C-alpha cells in the first residue's frame, strides 16, 4: 500500500528551499524586490487551496460509509467478517465498534491489528496465519465471510457475494 506522505513532505521542503533561495536572490538584487517577491510566494498556496477546494473538499463524500453499511447489511446474524486492507478495516470497524452497527457480527483484522479480538499475532508467518485461520474456520459454527484475496487455506472454497465472500467450510 503506498503512503506518499514522505514524498509530499520532501516536496514541501524542496519547494520551501526554492522559495527561500529565490527570495534571497531577489533581496540581493535590490531592497524593494524582497517584499514584492514575498507577496506572490505567500499568496500562491492560498490561491491554489481556494481554487481547488471544490474538487478536494470531500465533506459530502459518503462512499466509505455506504459501502461499509452495505457489507454489514448483507451478513447473516452472528457472522464473522475477516478484513485485511485499511480501506475495509477503517470504515467497517468504525461503524461496528464506534457506532454499534451490527453488534452481533464479529470483526477480525487478518493482520492481527486494530481490533481487540485477534486470531493471530501481528508478526505471524504465512504458515502460522494459514494454520490459525484453518483452525478457526473448522472450529466455529458461525458463518465466516471475508473481503480479501488469497487468505483462505487451500482446503476451503468461497462463494462471491459482491463486496464479500462466504467461506464454504469443508468444501473445496
pLDDT, tens digit, for every residue of 86-145? Answer: 889 999 999 999 999 999 999 998 888 888 888 888 888 888 888 899 999 999 999 999
Q: For residue 46, what pLDDT band results from cuts at 50, 70 and 90?
A: confident
Nine cell digits for residue 30: 535590490
Q: How far is CA 9 from CA 12, 21, 23, 44, in A?
A: 5, 18, 21, 18
**Residue 105 in contact with residue 124, Cβ under 8 Å?**
no
Nine cell digits for residue 104: 452481533
Whole-model pTM above 0.85?
A: no
Average model confidence (pLDDT) across the chain: 86
Among 1-15, 49-63, 92-106, 146-160, which range has the highest average pLDDT?
92-106
Whole-number pLDDT of residue 76: 96
3-class DSSP state of 144:
strand
Is the pLDDT at 40 greater than 60, yes or no?
A: yes
Q: For residue 31, what pLDDT band results from cuts at 50, 70 and 90?
A: low
Distance CA 82, CA 23 (A): 54
- Residue with cell string 508478526: 123
Phi, psi of 113 (to 5 degrees): -120, 175
Q: For residue 163, what pLDDT band results from cuts at 50, 70 and 90?
A: confident
List, in sequence order, every residue forming a beta bridge with 146; answer none if it has no partner: 82, 165
Whole-number pLDDT of residue 79: 96
Could you tell me where the beta strands, DSSP code E, fall in 80-135? 80-83, 106-109
What is the mean predicted confidence (pLDDT) over 55-74? 90
Amino acid at each position: 500500500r503506498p503512503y506518499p506522505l514522505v514524498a509530499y513532505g520532501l516536496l514541501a521542503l524542496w519547494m520551501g528551499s526554492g522559495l527561500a533561495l529565490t527570495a534571497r536572490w531577489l533581496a540581493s538584487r535590490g531592497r524593494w524586490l524582497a517584499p514584492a517577491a514575498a507577496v506572490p510566494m505567500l499568496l500562491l498556496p492560498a490561491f491554489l487551496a481556494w481554487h481547488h477546494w471544490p474538487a478536494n473538499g470531500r465533506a459530502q463524500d459518503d462512499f466509505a460509509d455506504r459501502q461499509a453499511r452495505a457489507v454489514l447489511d448483507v451478513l447473516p446474524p452472528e457472522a464473522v467478517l475477516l478484513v485485511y486492507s485499511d480501506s475495509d478495516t477503517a470504515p467497517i470497524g468504525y461503524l461496528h465498534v464506534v457506532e454499534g452497527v451490527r453488534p452481533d457480527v464479529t470483526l477480525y483484522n487478518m493482520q492481527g491489528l486494530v481490533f481487540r479480538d485477534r486470531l493471530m499475532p501481528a508478526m505471524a508467518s504465512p504458515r502460522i496465519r494459514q494454520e490459525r485461520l484453518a483452525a478457526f474456520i473448522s472450529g466455529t459454527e458461525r458463518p465466516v465471510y471475508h473481503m480479501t484475496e488469497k487468505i483462505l487455506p487451500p482446503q476451503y472454497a468461497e462463494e462471491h457475494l459482491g463486496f464479500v465472500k462466504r467461506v464454504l467450510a469443508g468444501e473445496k
